[in-house]
Amino acid sequence: MCAKGFGQSQPTKIDKLVENAVGYCHKRHPEALDKIFDNLSVKLNQQVLDGTVAALKKDIDSLSWLCSYFASEINSSSDNDKPYHPIMLLSKLLMKSGMQPFVDFMPYVGCRISILNNEKFEALPPKVQAAVKEGFDVTETSGEEAQKINEALLRELSV
């Protein structure tokens, strides 16, 4: 009789999906991520995303790549070979400056990033703020407008 794993809980479906998603981020494999995120409900997608971001918390390179993937800057493996990825660089800059992806800023389809925590952004060093404003069009929206955008994007992702 083998006692291996006795008394220990087995990994859940979400745990397995998160483990796979983290591996695909390390391998820079967007097509495999598509197979995960395109086939789950919005609720499960959110759970997998939250788990993946938590697992990659200390790996800024993979996390900035994931942001680039969610902003549609990386759509296929061949996109990894491009020399310049503005969303990836911006995500990395924001994370190194103390902002958290999917909490303080959110990558969106169409190579965009939305700053969710304006107070935290305004507290960044002026040099970082200037780099963001120089490299990207910065527009302000009300909370209501941002909510409408979020809802529209969620509907688009759940199709």
> Which pLDDT belongs to residue 25?
97
How do the pLDDT tens digits run along the chain, 159 residues long? 455 566 677 889 999 999 999 999 999 999 999 999 998 988 999 999 999 999 999 999 999 999 999 999 999 999 999 988 999 999 999 999 999 999 988 888 888 888 888 899 889 999 988 888 877 766 666 667 766 766 666 665 554
How many Å apart are CA 125 and CA 3, to the nearest integer? 55
pTM over cut 0.75: yes
Instruction: Return contacts of 47-52, CB within 8 angstroms, 24+ apart.
Output: 47/14, 48/14, 48/17, 48/18, 48/21, 49/102, 50/102, 51/14, 51/15, 51/17, 51/18, 51/21, 52/18, 52/21, 52/22, 52/25
> Which pLDDT belongs to residue 1?
44
Could you identify the residue written with the tokens 């955008």? Answer: 149
For residues 96 and 59, the answer to whether their CB atoms sit within 8 Å is no
> Which pLDDT belongs to residue 116?
84
> Which pLDDT belongs to residue 139?
63
Q: Which two tokens stand for residue 98?
A: 């103390």
